[in-house]
Structure 1
Amino acid sequence: MTHQSDTEHPVRQGVAAGTSIAAGVVLATVGVLSVLQGISAVIADQIYVVGVEYLYRFDTTVWGWTHTVLGLLLFICSIGLMTGTLWGRIGALVVTALSIIANFLSLPYYPAWSMLIIGLNIVVIWAVATWRPALD
């Protein structure tokens, strides 16, 4: 009788595959929302309130462009992820990690939103990292 490791268990892979499809949808949603967040920061940067002074402080217009570009990349990677491409999986991991860093650095400007996006990005990274499509 063959022994399957925990990472090769069919139920776990089924959950990871289903979560990866959902992660693609979440990634697309986060991408669109990041683009909208970025546009709002570029057009009307008065909506962002800066609380406590932090060491890493940037202009809200810079954050707006950063979130807009990352949002577009997240959306593109979500398409690749949902179609099952390797570049989509690698891109999703890299761009989602960059999105976590950008949202961490923009915590002083919009803390609740940044924490929500960081949490969603962690779920996406887990789903993409655990899914092994060759086993499906």
Structure 2
Amino acid sequence: MSEDSSAKQGIAAVTSMTAAIVMVTVGVIQLFQGIAAVAENEMFVVGVEYIYKFDLSAWGWIHIVLGVLVIVVGLALLTGAGWARMAAIVIGALVILANFLWLPYYPWWSILIIALSVVVIWAVSTWHTTPSESHAHVR
């Protein structure tokens, strides 16, 4: 293995680990956000009325389920599971959508989660596997 290849592998490993850690962090925040919405309906102030308005408890459960899914996929990404990369992109997109719809309830947290999810999607989608990793399922 050449030094250049070794450096690329190091960057790929750091990128994937960073994405996994950010993903787990996003999942924990989603989970806490959902628990707060379910437990304390009066905590959130609704600004502008939107067409896609749900009951606050329903939003809480949506965030709880998404939080758990994000944590599971993030942990799988940390272990190097092959399916976790595609799942991270799909779940990241769902988190972005859910937090966009959640903007009227908690705009600053929503913007933070959207930004972190974009970072995760970027990191996971730009991570290139080695030839041995990409052909491992062929063996």
TM-score bracket for the superposition, by shorter chain length: 0.7 to 0.9
- Deviation of residue 128 (structure 1)? 0.3
CA distance in 2 between partners of 1:55 and 1:10 (Å)? 51
Pairing partner for 2:126 from 102, 114, 130: 130
Detail structure 1 runs of 4+ shifted over 6 Å in the superposition: none
Q: Tell me the TM-score normalised to structure 1 length.
A: 0.87
- Deviation of residue 133 (structure 1)? 2.2
CA distance in 1 between partners of 2:126 and 2:9 (Å)? 8
**1:67 alignment partner in structure 2:** 63
Q: Supply the AA of the counterpart residue of 1:66.
A: I
CA distance in 2 between partners of 1:13 and 1:59 (Å)? 46
- Deviation of residue 29 (structure 1)? 1.0
State the percentage of identical aligned residues. Answer: 52
- Deviation of residue 14 (structure 1)? 4.1
Q: Structure 2 unaligned runs (5+)?
A: 134-139
Which range moved further: 17-26 or 97-106? 17-26
Q: 1:61 to 1:119 in 2, by over 3 A?
A: same
**2:94 alignment partner in structure 1:** 98
CA distance in 2 between partners of 1:57 and 1:106 (Å)? 9
Is the Cα contact below 8 Å between 1:16 and 1:127 reproduced in 2?
Answer: no
CA distance in 1 between partners of 2:31 and 2:47 (Å)? 23
The CA RMSD measured in Å over matched residues stands at 1.7
Is the Cα contact below 8 Å between 1:73 and 1:95 reproduced in 2?
Answer: yes
Deviation track 1:61-99 (CA, whole Å, cap 9, x = no partner) reads 111000000000000001111111111111111111100
Q: Structure 1 unaligned runs (5+)?
A: 1-8
Report the 3-state secondary structure (helix = DSSP H, G, I; strand = E; otherwise coil) of the residue aligned with 2:130.
helix
Deviation track 1:75-129 (CA, whole Å, cap 9, x = no partner) reads 0001111111111111111111100000000100000100000000000000000
